A and B are shown apart, each in its own frame.
Chain A
Amino acid sequence: GENVEQHPSTLSVQEGDSAVIKCTYSDSASNYFPWYKQELGKRPQLIIDIRSNVGEKKDQRIAVTLNKTAKHFSLHITETQPEDSAVYFCAAPYSGGYQKVTFGTGTKLQVIP
């Protein structure tokens, strides 16, 4: 199956600073990499995703970069705001099975006003 490792497990930044969360994966055939945001007591929601045919994707203050050779992808949040405080999960599918998407262990981001 797919092994997904996510770092760091917690991250505190000052409002306005940038935050970077990194994930590594094991299945070299994986070609879709989503990031989910989960606020306390709420459902995980997709914030950005990237497919393996591109190296970077940006949506306003959020960007994701992918390095297929090294098998890692990163979430970048710029100009952080207090409402960015949440737990962020990366995920990667296992190409050898039906839909067995594996999630990282999560990064708890705290943005300090």
Chain B
Amino acid sequence: GAGVSQSPRYKVAKRGQDVALRCDPISGHVSLFWYQQALGQGPEFLTYFQNEAQLDKSGLPSDRFFAERPEGSVSTLKIQRTQQEDSAVYLCASIRGSSYNSPLHFGNGTRLTVT
């Protein structure tokens, strides 16, 4: 596709449920990122993949958060035993290469609401 695609667009989960958020980056883009954006805040870094390798996961807030990109294209962010504080928009972004001196191409995000 022409851009980064994320699904679902909206997700409502009851506290304690597990959720899986999907990101389909721009074809051929090597680098993939997950960001968390709370209401009224800037995106906060969660994790970074270069192809299938997860090179930085220092932003994941707890061990309930897990991300994978097994074939170096589609990525899934999984949140186990969701809590209310997990409510946010989860943004995926990709860039063609691996240089940090490149603009991020964002998806529309998944708005997660934990009730």
The minimal Cβ–Cβ distance linking A32 to chain B, given in whole angstroms, is 4
Find chain A residues with CB under 8 A from B18 CB: none
A42 at the interface (CB under 8 A from B): yes
Residue in contact with B100 in the complex, picked from A89, A101, A103, A104, CB distance below 8 Å = A101
Per the bound structure, the CA–CA distance linking A103 and B45 in Å amounts to 9
A31 at the interface (CB under 8 A from B): yes
User: B-facing mask of A22-65, CB < 8 A → 1, else 0?
Assistant: 00000000011010100000111110010100000000000000
Given A44-B91, A100-B58, A101-B45, A106-B104 contact (CB < 8 Å): no
Per the bound structure, the CA–CA distance linking A47 and B40 in Å amounts to 20
B109 at the interface (CB under 8 A from A): yes
Q: Count A-B pairs with CB separation below 8 Å.
A: 64
Cross-chain contact B104 with A101 (CB below 8 angstroms): yes
Per the bound structure, the CA–CA distance linking A94 and B45 in Å amounts to 11
Cross-chain contact B41 with A105 (CB below 8 angstroms): yes
Q: Which of B9-51 contact A (CB under 8 A)?
A: 31, 33, 40-45, 48, 50
- Number of chain B residues close to chain A: CB under 8 A: 26
Cross-chain contact A103 with B43 (CB below 8 angstroms): yes
B103 at the interface (CB under 8 A from A): yes
User: B-facing mask of A55-90, CB < 8 A → 1, else 0?
Assistant: 000000000000000000000000000000000010
Q: What are 7 of the A-B contact pairs (CB < 8 Å)?
A: A32-B100, A44-B106, A93-B101, A97-B58, A98-B56, A99-B33, A106-B41
Beyond the given A99-B33, A100-B48, A103-B43, could you list 19 further A-B residue pairs with CB under 8 A, ordered by the A residue number? Answer: A6-B42, A32-B102, A34-B103, A44-B43, A44-B104, A46-B103, A46-B104, A51-B101, A93-B101, A98-B50, A98-B100, A99-B56, A100-B59, A101-B33, A102-B45, A104-B42, A105-B42, A106-B40, A106-B41
